[in-house]
């Protein structure tokens, strides 16, 4: 399962001490991409701390939840993507001490380093939704935010013959909270609505978000509002899911514009977009943002991706405190910045490459249609595909999502070639 639970603070025994020039915490999208690019640039003596022996292409989970891809297509052996010559420490990081230039692991390994790249992703905080953790994957309640649960979403969509299909988006405005790929909770709502339309089922689709708008970038918001109108999806803003009662099949929302008030909605199936945050060992480390919206995430300069306190530390990916949408596409633009700036620092120079907040969200809106939303820190559309209008729902973009992007991920990005 990709969505890691907290590992707690297991006592650390001094079992083994190792030292590497560069240590990367997390061997997911960001960690592997950085390791591959550093290796290609001739940097040696790198170690990756990564507990999982599986690597997941998470963007496919939306299509798994919609029944057009198999979960197994999203997973490969992690070992195949650790670049040659890089040491894989297969363990959880549990403590980072940037003063001592040391990372401790759950099994008691002490990993000293000259330079550190922090990229352990985010964890889902299921305890924030009363009753959710115990019922996921049962009673019509699921999420695409986990490898083993995305197939359940598809099962529950198929089982819903009438009634209400409810889809939720968490409160990402709460300091320290986020959700990776903020478009994913609505993508699955569109796919489900299209499925109910194609099969002629009288199912009412409701999309309830804790935010105030459907999508943060006005240009794309307009297109998506049109998609909701087409399907008759009811969009509820300022609705934060706080509890589920699986026996009554009722979801309880806090109404963000009416403090203290709640509202119950009955459902036949429920897809939950979980509130997510940085892992505990990051939140509790000296590298964490001390306050503000990014509290608990890795504190880095939003352009150079370097720690403002420790010049030998960089952060990227979902765990980094960057005010942009957390996606693999963002990582693709962040990784070369980290690699360049890290090498600059190794050579006693200042970071000289800047990340502009680029992110992209391939918003599938129907079986066979997709809008490619690309934007930056200013929420300004930043299209990268030449000659075509990717703001429109398109079949070629759907093909890109289903076939092109996974191929690019496994063969180019993780190999340090894109």
Ligand X SMILES: Cc1cc2nc3c(=O)[nH]c(=O)nc-3n(C[C@H](O)[C@H](O)[C@H](O)COP(=O)(O)OP(=O)(O)OC[C@H]3O[C@@H](n4cnc5c(N)ncnc54)[C@H](O)[C@@H]3O)c2cc1C
Shortest distance in whole angstroms from residue 14 CB to ligand X? 19
Instruction: Among 49, 269, 300, 337, indicate the residue that binds ligand X (CB under 6 A).
Output: 49
Residues annotated as catalytic are: 181, 361
Shortest distance in whole angstroms from residue 262 CB to ligand X? 27
Q: Report the distance separating Cα 381 and Cα 418, nearest Å.
A: 21
Q: Is 334 in the site for ligand X (CB under 6 A)?
A: no
Q: Report the distance separating Cα 359 and Cα 379, nearest Å.
A: 10
Pick the piece of the chain touching ligand X (CB under 6 A) from 22-30, 256-264, 306-314, 377-385.
Answer: 22-30
Instruction: Among 121, 140, 275, 351, indicate the residue that binds ligand X (CB under 6 A).
Output: 121
Pick the piece of the chain touching ligand X (CB under 6 A) from 43-51, 158-166, 258-266, 378-386.
Answer: 43-51
Q: Is 109 in the site for ligand X (CB under 6 A)?
A: no
Q: Which residues contact 191 (CB under 8 A, 6 or more apart)?
A: 62, 65, 66, 157, 364, 366, 367
Q: Report the distance separating Cα 249 and Cα 384, nearest Å.
A: 43
Q: Report the distance separating Cα 151 and Cα 75, nearest Å.
A: 14
Shortest distance in whole angstroms from residue 54 CB to ligand X? 8
- Interface of this chain with ligand X, residues 186 to 245, rule: CB under 6 A: none
Q: Is 382 in the site for ligand X (CB under 6 A)?
A: no
The residue (of 135 and 153) whose beta carbon lies closer to ligand X is 153
Instruction: Among 37, 39, 43, 51, indicate the residue that binds ligand X (CB under 6 A).
Output: 51
Helix H or strand E encompassing 25: strand 16-25
Q: Is 7 in the site for ligand X (CB under 6 A)?
A: yes
Q: Is 181 in the site for ligand X (CB under 6 A)?
A: yes
Identify the CA nearest to 78 among candidates 26, 156, 151, 9: 26
Question: x/- contact string, 239-278, with ligand X (CB under 6 A)?
Answer: ----------------------------------------
Q: Report the distance separating Cα 213 and Cα 235, nearest Å.
A: 9
Could you tell me if 81 and 270 are in contact, meaning their C-beta atoms sit under 8 angstroms apart? no
Instruction: Among 58, 101, 171, 341, indicate the residue that binds ligand X (CB under 6 A).
Output: 58
Give the total of residues touching ligand X (CB under 6 A).
38
**Which three-class secondary structure state does DSSP give residue 409?**
helix
Pick the piece of the chain touching ligand X (CB under 6 A) from 118-126, 162-170, 205-213, 244-252.
Answer: 118-126
For the record, the structure tokens of 410 come out as: 């496994």
CA dihedral of residues 62, 161, 241, 290 (deg, nearest 10): -10
Instruction: Among 36, 46, 92, 151, indicate the residue that binds ligand X (CB under 6 A).
Output: 92
Buried b (16+ CB within 10 A) or exposed e, 385-398: eeeeebbebbeebb
Instruction: Among 110, 180, 277, 283, indicate the residue that binds ligand X (CB under 6 A).
Output: 180
Q: Report the distance separating Cα 411 and Cα 57, nearest Å.
A: 12
The residue (of 60 and 295) whose beta carbon lies closer to ligand X is 60
Q: What are phi and psi of 198, to 5 degrees?
A: -65, -35
Q: Rule CB under 6 A: which residues touch ligand X?
A: 4, 7, 25-31, 49-52, 58-59, 61-62, 92-93, 119-121, 144-145, 180-181, 184, 279, 281, 317-319, 326-329, 331, 362
């Amino acid at each position: 399962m990709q969505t890691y639970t907290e590992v707690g603070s297991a006592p650390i025994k001094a079992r083994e001490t190792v030292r590497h020039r560069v240590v990367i915490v997390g061997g997911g999208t960001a960690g592997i991409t950085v390791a591959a690019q550093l290796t290609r640039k001739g940097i040696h003596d790198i170690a990756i701390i990564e507990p999982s022996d599986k690597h997941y292409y998470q963007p496919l989970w939306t299509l798994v939840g919609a029944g057009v891809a198999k979960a197994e297509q999203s997973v490969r052996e992690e070992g195949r993507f650790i670049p040659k010559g890089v040491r894989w420490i297969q363990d959880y990081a549990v403590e980072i001490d940037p003063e001592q230039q040391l990372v401790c692991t759950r099994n008691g390994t002490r990993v000293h380093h000259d330079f550190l790249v922090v990229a352990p992703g985010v964890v889902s905080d299921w305890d924030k939704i009363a009753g959710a953790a115990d019922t996921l994957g049962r009673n019509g309640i699921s999420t695409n935010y986990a490898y083993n649960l995305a197939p359940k979403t598809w099962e529950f969509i198929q089982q819903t013959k009438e009634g209400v299909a409810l889809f939720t988006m968490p409160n990402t405005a709460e300091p320290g909270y986020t959700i990776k790929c903020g478009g994913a909770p609505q993508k699955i709502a569109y796919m489900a609505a299209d499925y109910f339309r194609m099969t002629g089922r009288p199912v009412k689709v409701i999309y309830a978000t804790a935010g105030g708008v459907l999508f943060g970038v006005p240009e794309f918001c307009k297109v998506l509002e049109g998609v909701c109108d087409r399907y008759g999806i009811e969009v509820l803003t300022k609705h934060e899911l706080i509890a589920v009662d699986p026996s009554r099949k009722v979801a309880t929302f806090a109404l963000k514009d009416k403090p203290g008030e709640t509202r119950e909605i009955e459902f036949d199936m429920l897809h939950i977009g979980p509130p997510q945050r940085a892992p505990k060992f990051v939140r509790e480390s000296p590298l964490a943002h001390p306050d503000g919206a990014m509290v608990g995430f890795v504190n880095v300069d939003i352009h150079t991706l370097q720690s403002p306190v420790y010049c030998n530390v960089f952060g990227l990916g979902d765990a980094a405190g960057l005010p942009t949408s957390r996606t693999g596409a963002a990582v693709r633009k962040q990784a070369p910045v980290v690699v360049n700036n890290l090498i600059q620092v190794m050579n006693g120079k200042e970071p000289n490459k800047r990340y502009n907040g680029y992110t992209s969200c391939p918003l599938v809106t129907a079986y066979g249609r997709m809008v490619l939303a690309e934007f930056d820190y200013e929420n300004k559309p930043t299209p990268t595909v030449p000659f075509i209008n990717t703001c429109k729902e398109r079949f070629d973009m759907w093909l890109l999502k289903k076939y092109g992007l996974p191929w690019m991920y496994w063969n180019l990005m993780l190999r340090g070639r894109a």
